[in-house]
């Protein structure tokens, strides 16, 4: 009798304690994610300030879609997608070179990764001084008698978003390099050995033997970088161009911030919901890629 | 073997050349910040790219003495330490409960964490700001501390649960057989094993909080409550004609991170790529 009851008690304790342990985390996620996500969807159907909101149905969404500034912002996010293949290609070449057990490889990698840990805003400010009309880059170009190449990198509406993309590549390339180097390092040496014995040249070895084996990591890296350029570039744009000239280099995050700063909370919320829709698709893709690659 | 030794040397030189060019490109903007911060404005105007031939601490001194920069550094420090401490503690308990307790739904809990890791914070901004206005926390550090803490939890849970899965279950069971309760096992068995992993996690989260701009910009709007990164963007507009002054501020804001990186580079690399590697 006593034996049975202690066993039951221990059994119950084993079943219950994990719920208590996980409760604070669930509370934190509910507070920081669930509450604002539910609320932002609600807000997107209202206009006016938060003291006296009025129901406007889908008007916020209609207004946003008709707004050329929003379309420009969305288009710029899509343009920034071009950054992804550049980072992947360049990152892959550097990772393959590092993978050849090159002397000083660790030191090279440490330097290449450094930009990734620095605050985007502080670095972006330095870039804004480098790239402005009479900034360092143009001065250097003129001194080298290459004045024809000097451009208004931040003030020209055709170039500004390209400059933002350049900054993103500069800061995030190291991440791709480190991830790809680690993936290459984890490969079993036998397959590369066998290919070498078969007389495969350097390029054939890289492209036919090594790269296909790290394909799952390349896919996941692609998804992560797409998410980054669509949803996590506010700091770069804010300090480099503030979205200007006009809205020429604005992105969706900046559009949300500007609407919100102007008191158009409903507008900001409706763009947030659209961004969230895009992010959800990408989150779904990333979970799927992870499962397929057996990473989670 | 026609390529021979000559071909191999050329190949090797080409590889080093590529890596050196990439490293120079990575370092130049950082060098630009350092060298400009050591110039007077007049020197900088005369020759923006040159070496600081007469290095001076003038810009650094005036940005520290005449500006709220020390206050902003202190704010950033408080915010970083508090949010990272809270999220690490909360995630430690949750990951331990999920991995070793295996409660009903622990898988759903873990994949929810992975999904939340990629929710863009900008989509949460408007409702959270309204909440902070209602509670009267706008312009007070606790507004960003509680929000950051919550935002960090999913990654921390993901990171720690992945680490816990590598801890041999026999260790836990052996302690449990000896009658140790779950908290004792966590404290005596699991935590001593988690030192390096926990430190890596703390580094990653600290960088994230220290570098964050958008939320700090919106939640902390008066001069004394800013974080250093948000404050820097104020300098950028205010002193657009004195760039050495602005970059002196930038140098001070990145210095703690660079020093930490030099001390423990492998923790940065391992932690920041944890979301992706195996």
CATH number where A181 lies: 1.10.3720.10
| 3 state DSSP class of B264 | coil
B-chain CB neighbours of A276 within 8 Å are: 119-120, 123
With a CB-CB cutoff of 8 Å, which residues 237-276 of chain A face chain B?
Answer: 238-239, 253, 256-257, 260, 265, 268-269, 272-273, 275-276
> Within 10 Å of residue B10's Cβ, how many Cβ atoms?
11
A186 touches B: beta carbon within 8 Å: yes
pLDDT at A6 over 60: no
Residue A28 and residue A122 in one domain: no
Q: Which long-range contacts (CB under 8 A, 24 or more apart) does B44-52 make?
A: B44/B243, B44/B244, B48/A135, B48/A136, B48/A139, B49/A136, B49/A139, B49/A140
Which range is most confident: A215-229, B40-54, B144-158, B163-177? B144-158
In a domain, A88, yes or no: yes
Domain total in chain B: 2
Both A80 and A204 in one domain: the answer is yes
Decide if B127 contacts A40 (C-beta within 8 A): yes
Q: What is the C-alpha to C-alpha distance for residues B93 and B150, in angstroms, rounded to an integer?
A: 14
| Neighbour-count burial of B278, counting CB atoms closer than 10 A to its CB (0-12 exposed, 13-18 middle, 19+ buried) | exposed
Last residue of a domain, one of B42, B61, B80: B61
Please say which residue of B25, B41, B61 terminates a domain.
Answer: B61
| CB contact (8 A) between residue A20 and residue B147 | no
Residue of A nearest to B206 (CA): A117
Indicate the Cα dihedral angle A179, A180, A182, A188, nearest 10°.
150
DSSP state of B48: S
Tell me the shortest Cα–Cα distance from A96 to chain B, in angstroms: 10
Measured between alpha carbons, how far is A116 from B254 in angstroms, rounded to an integer? 12
**Chain B contact for A228 (CB, 8 A cutoff):** no
Q: Is the pLDDT of residue B183 over 70?
A: yes
Residue A59 covered by a domain: no
Mutate to test the interface with A, among B120, B162, B187 (most CBs of A within 10 A): B120
Instruction: Dump pLDDT digits (tens) for B218-253.
Output: 999 999 999 999 999 999 988 888 999 999 999 999
CA angle B230, B236, B237 (to 5 degrees): 105
Q: Is the Cα torsion angle B104, B108, B111, B112 positive or negative in sign?
A: negative
Q: Are residues A13 and A90 both part of a single domain?
A: no
* Among the listed residues A113, A108, A160, the one whose alpha carbon sits nearest the alpha carbon of residue A133: A160
The mean-pLDDT minimum among A94-103, A192-201, A214-223, B235-244 falls in A192-201
Estimate to the nearest angstrom the gap between the alpha carbon of B269 and the chain centroid: 12
DSSP structural state of residue B67: S
- Claim to verify: residue A194 and residue A82 sit in the same structural domain: yes
Partners of A55 in the β-ladder:
A46
Q: Which residues span the domain enclosing A36?
A: 2-43
Looking at the domain assignment, is residue A55 inside a domain? Answer: no
Judge whether B179 and B166 are in contact, CB under 8 Å.
Answer: no
The contacts of residue B234 (CB under 8 Å, 6+ apart) are B226
Q: Are residues B154 and B21 in the same domain?
A: no
Residues B73 and B169 in one domain: yes
In a domain, B266, yes or no: no
Nearest to A125 among B120, B130, B250 (CB): B250
| B171-191 burial: b if 16+ Cβ within 10 Å, else e | ebeebbeeebebeebbeebbe
- Assess if residue A52 is contained within a domain: no
In a domain, A25, yes or no: yes
Say yes or no for a CB contact (<8 Å) between B233 and A125.
yes
Cβ neighbour number for residue B17 with a 10 Å cutoff: 10
Same domain (yes/no): B176, B82: yes
Residues A227 and A110 both lie in one domain = yes
Q: How confident is the model at residue A14 (pLDDT cuts 50, 70, 90)?
A: low
Strand bridging mode A46-47 / A54-55: antiparallel
Pair (B147, B212) in one structural domain = yes
CA distance B235 to B258: 21
Residues of A in contact with B113 (CB under 8 A): 29
pLDDT in tens, A250-274: 999 999 999 999 989 999 999 999 9
CB contact under 8 A, B254 and A122: yes
Secondary structure (3-state) at B153:
helix
User: Which of A9, A20, A22, A73 should one mutate to test binding to chain B, selecting the residue with the greatest count of B CBs within 10 A?
Assistant: A22
Residue of chain A whose Cα is closest to the Cα of B154: A29
Domain range for B169? 68-238
Say yes or no: A114 and A242 in one domain.
Answer: yes
User: What pLDDT is attached to residue A295?
Assistant: 62
Q: Which among B122, B162, B215 is the top mutation candidate for probing chain A, defined by the most A β-carbons within 10 Å of its own β-carbon?
A: B122
**Pair B15, B54 in one domain:** yes
Angle at A186 between CA A221 and CA A207, to 5 degrees: 65
Tell me if B146 and A174 make a contact (CB, 8 A cut-off): no
Count A/B contacts: CB-CB distance under 8 Å. Answer: 282
B101 lies in the same domain as B175: yes
In this prediction, residues A224-253 reach a mean pLDDT of 94
Is there a single domain that holds both residue A166 and residue A39?
no
Residue of B nearest to A227 (CA): B118
Out of B15, B98, B115, name the one closest to residue A97 (CB): B15
DSSP B68: S
Residues B130 and B16 placed together within one structural domain of the fold: no
B188-202: pLDDT as tens digits: 888 888 888 999 999
If one compares A100 and B131, the residue with the highest pLDDT of the two is B131
Q: How far is A216 from chain B (nearest CA, A)?
A: 10
Together in a domain, A31 and A74: no
Least confident stretch, A10-24, A218-232, B109-123: A10-24
ipTM of the complex: 0.92
Residue A176, chain B, CB below 8 Å: the answer is: no
- Asked if residue B56 belongs to a domain, the reply is yes
Task: Mark yes or no for CB contact B23/A50 under 8 Å.
Answer: no
Residue B199 within a domain: yes
Average pLDDT for chain B:
91
Mean per-residue pLDDT for B91-101? 93
CB within 8 Å: B93 and A24? yes
Interface with chain A: mutation pick from B118, B151, B261, B277, highest number of A CBs within 10 Å:
B118
| Residues A186 and A178 sit within 8 Å (Cβ to Cβ) | no
Q: Is A202 on the interface with B (CB under 8 A)?
A: yes
Interface membership of A100 toward B (CB under 8 Å): yes
| Collapsed DSSP state (helix, strand, coil) of residue B104 | coil
Residues A22, B93: C-beta atoms closer than 8 Å: yes
User: How far apart are the C-alpha atoms of A13 and A179, rounded to whole Å?
Assistant: 42
Residues A88 and A149 in one domain: yes
pLDDT at A10: 47
How near does any CA of chain A get to the CA of B210, in Å? 8
CATH for B232:
1.10.3720.10
- Same-domain pairing of A32 and A97: no
Give the tens place of pLDDT for each residue, A40-83. Answer: 999 999 997 767 788 998 999 999 999 999 999 999 999 999 99
Length of chain B: 278
Question: Which of A93, A123, A129, A219 to probe the B interface (max B CBs under 10 A)?
Answer: A129
Question: HEC string of chain A?
Answer: CHHHHHHHHHHHHHHHHHHHHHHHHHHHHHHHHHHHHHHHHHHCCEECCCCCCEECCCHHHHHHHHCHHHHHHHHHHHHHCCHHHHHHHHHHHHHHHHCCCCCCHHHHHHHHHHHHHCCHHHHHHHHHHHHCCCCHHHHHHHHCCCHHHCCCCCCCCCCHHHHHHHHHHHHHHHHHHHHHHHHHHCCCHHHHHHHHHCCCCHHHHHHHHHHHHCHHHHHHHHHHHHHHHHHCCHHHHHHHCCCCCCCCCCCHHHHHHHHHHCCCHHHHHHHHHHHHHHHHHHHHHHHHHHHHHCCC
Strand, helix or coil for residue B166: coil
Q: What single-letter DSSP state applies at residue B122?
A: G
Number of domains in chain A: 2
| Same domain, residue pair B45 and B162 | no
A65 in reach of chain B (CB within 8 A): no
- Res B268: pLDDT: 87
How far A31 CA lies from chain B's nearest CA (Å)?
Answer: 7
Distance from CA of B229 to the nearest CA of A (A): 7
- Per-residue b/e over B147-158, b at no fewer than 16 CB within 10 Å? bbbbbbbbbbbb
């Amino acid at each position: 009798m006593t034996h049975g009851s202690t066993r039951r008690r221990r059994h119950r304790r084993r079943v219950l304690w994990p719920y208590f342990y996980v409760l604070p985390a669930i509370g934190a996620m509910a507070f920081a994610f669930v509450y604002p996500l539910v609320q932002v969807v609600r807000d997107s159907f209202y206009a006016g300030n938060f003291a006296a909101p009025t129901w406007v149905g889908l008007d916020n969404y209609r207004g946003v879609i008709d707004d050329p500034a929003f379309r420009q912002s969305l288009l710029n996010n899509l343009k920034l997608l071009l950054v992804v293949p550049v980072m992947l290609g360049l990152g892959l070449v550097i990772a393959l070179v590092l993978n050849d057990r090159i002397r000083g490889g660790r030191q090279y990698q440490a330097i290449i990764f450094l930009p990734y840990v620095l605050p985007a805003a502080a670095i972006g400010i330095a870039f804004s001084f480098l790239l402005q009309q009479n900034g360092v880059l143009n001065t250097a170009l003129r001194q080298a008698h290459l004045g024809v190449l000097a451009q208004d990198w931040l003030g020209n509406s055709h170039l500004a978003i390209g400059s933002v993309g350049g900054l993103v590549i500069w800061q995030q390339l190291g991440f791709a390099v480190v991830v790809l180097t680690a993936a290459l390092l984890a490969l079993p040496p036998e397959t590369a050995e066998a290919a070498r014995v078969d007389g495969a040249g350097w390029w054939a070895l890289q492209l036919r033997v090594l790269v296909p084996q790290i394909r799952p990591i390349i896919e996941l890296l692609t998804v992560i970088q797409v998410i980054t350029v669509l949803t996590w570039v506010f700091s770069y744009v804010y300090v480099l161009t503030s979205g200007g000239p006009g809205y020429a280099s604005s992105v969706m995050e900046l559009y949300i911030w500007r609407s919100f700063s102007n008191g158009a909370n409903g507008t900001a919320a409706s763009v947030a919901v659209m961004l969230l829709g895009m992010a959800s698709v990408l989150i779904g893709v990333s979970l799927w890629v992870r499962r397929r690659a057996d990473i989670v | 073997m026609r390529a021979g030794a000559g071909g191999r040397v050329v190949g090797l030189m080409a590889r080093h050349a590529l890596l050196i060019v990439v490293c120079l490109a990575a370092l130049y903007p950082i060098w630009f910040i350092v060298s400009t911060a050591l110039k007077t404005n007049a020197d900088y105007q005369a020759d923006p790219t040159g070496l600081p031939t007469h290095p001076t601490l003038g810009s650094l001194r005036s940005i520290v003495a005449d500006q709220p920069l020390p206050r902003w550094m202190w704010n950033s420090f408080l915010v970083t330490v508090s949010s990272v401490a809270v999220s690490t503690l909360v995630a430690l308990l949750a990951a331990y409960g999920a991995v070793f307790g295996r409660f009903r739904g622990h898988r759903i809990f873990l994949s929810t964490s992975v999904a939340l890791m990629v929710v863009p914070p900008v989509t949460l901004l408007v409702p959270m700001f309204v909440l902070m206005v209602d509670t009267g926390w706008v312009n007070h550090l606790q507004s960003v501390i509680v929000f950051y803490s919550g935002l960090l939890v999913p990654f921390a849970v993901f990171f720690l649960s992945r680490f816990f899965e590598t801890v041999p279950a026999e260790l836990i069971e052996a302690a449990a057989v000896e009658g140790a309760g779950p908290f004792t096992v966590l404290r005596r068995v699991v935590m001593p094993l988690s030192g390096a992993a926990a430190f890596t996690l703390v580094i990653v989260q600290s960088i994230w909080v220290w570098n964050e701009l958008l939320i700090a910009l919106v939640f902390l709007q008066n001069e004394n409550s800013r974080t250093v990164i948000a404050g820097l963007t104020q300098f950028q507009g205010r002193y657009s004609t004195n760039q050495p002054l602005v970059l002196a501020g930038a140098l001070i804001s990145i210095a703690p991170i660079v020093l930490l990186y030099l001390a423990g580079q492998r923790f940065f690399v391992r932690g920041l790529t944890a979301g992706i590697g195996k």
